[in-house]
Amino acid sequence: MEMGPLQAVIGLACRRCYKEDVELSRCGGCRRISYCGPECQNADWKRHKPMCKALTSLEKNPAAAARLVSLLPKKPSSDLQELRKLTDEQVDIYFTYLPRETVVGHSWIQREPRCLVCTRTEMVMRMETGDVTQRLIPCPHCMRSFCCSPAHWEAAHTLHHGPSTDWRDGLSHCQMNMFVRLQDKVDTKNSLLDRRGQLTWVPGRVKSRWVSLEGKTWEGEFDEEIRKSYGMPATIPSSSTFLISSASDTLSMPMTILYGLSKLNEDDGWTRKQKLTIHVLGANIREVSCVGVFEEILHRLPEVNTFEIILCGPDVPSRDSFDHEICLECITRGRSCVLKCAANTYHDFVRKQGNQFATPDLCIAFNSGAAQGHLGYTWRTSMKVLVERKLPSLFTAYDREEAEDDAAMLRAAGAALHPLLGPCLNPWGSQKALPTAHSVYGFHVDNGWLAGGFK
């Protein structure tokens, strides 16, 4: 599996040690990745060897070459749907000719550099011309977007430098690339991240009362707290920005729950309940591995004594509950956080509960991808249960396309979507972003979009 920071995946940093500001040499076999010297290349060979040999073989395959070259458009395009279709077709050809064991999810194949307006890759350029020196031209500013020629860079100017709709703050595609690149550099050296690359951090304070999140920002809500936690002086204004970004990747879950509850309820009565219950649909190891962040809900709702969260999904551990230590202040005040697992689809969970089923305060599906994957039929069944039982619900998505597709599924199931809960950007989506897989444009952000909320 070819993992690591994007700069290493696309050959702009050493694949072994991730250094960027050094002279790099490309692998002579696959010509995809780079190393700072023989020592790193030799140390990485065992990991890289299977993919290297497979790609070298693919590039020499005349049938694959003919199919890939035939897909190339006659002229540059800024039609994102057309470009996405072309990249999907190219990746399908890769899957046809590469050995199954090398086609691994989240590998560099998903992030392979392509021309912004024609989807050419360097391999396809070599296949097309027979010239092994062919290289894509990187943007001189962000170094993360590419074109195959100066003429195509002219055609890509508006697409690359115009405002992006994938994130907040009106940043351009180029500016977002630069921010993500800096975030990668920070994360690579950040000893606070766990082995999954997550920063599971919750402020230690407990709020004296519920305060609406309307009009609030990540920086406004967390900058002072994260500085206190990690001893950061206010004289370095950008020092907490990237830590907030890392923390937001997991904190976006409790913050999105709170935001959804505030929009789906006409008053603040839910903030004063003795017990608040949340069901997470389609949960997996991600939610399980960072369950501690959900304590932020208790910290922002001081009148709630018990917070119960049930993680539902075929991929969660097969156990009823698990332990979680909460902060001393909550313990002293007799408060508790109850965490449970239900290794079932949500409709099966509801069916098995029978008459014991109790309506939760919110059902939420993080980044469900309901309309994207092969499990769409199970999501349709769960959506039907949510609508028929009038359960307060909220779905999030990685990007606009997924949000709009999921919203269409929800409406087809009979949901009347709340106008402020999607499809639209999520003000409490993660501040971290990754380039959209199999694409020349766009970003994938955890809970970046709200697909739809209803009750």
Give residue-wise pLDDT tens across range 357-376.
999 999 999 999 888 766 66
Q: In the numeric block, which tokens belong to residue 192?
A: 């606070």
Over range 85-108, report the average pLDDT.
76
Looking at residue 395, its pLDDT comes to 98
CB 438 within 8 A of CB 87: yes
Q: Please enumerate in sequence order all residues whose Cβ is within 8 A of that of 84, keeping only pairs 6 or more positions apart, or say none.
A: 438, 439
Looking at residue 2, its pLDDT comes to 47
- Rounded CA-CA distance 21/32 in Å is 18
Q: Judge if the upstream peptide bond of residue 163 is cis by omega within 30 degrees of 0.
A: no
Instruction: List for the chain the helix, strand, coil content (%; round to 5).
Output: 45, 10, 45
- Rounded CA-CA distance 288/396 in Å is 18
Give residue-wise pLDDT tens across range 163-207.
877 776 778 999 989 888 888 777 777 777 777 778 888 998 999
Q: Residue 236: is its pLDDT beyond 70?
A: no
Looking at residue 428, its pLDDT comes to 96
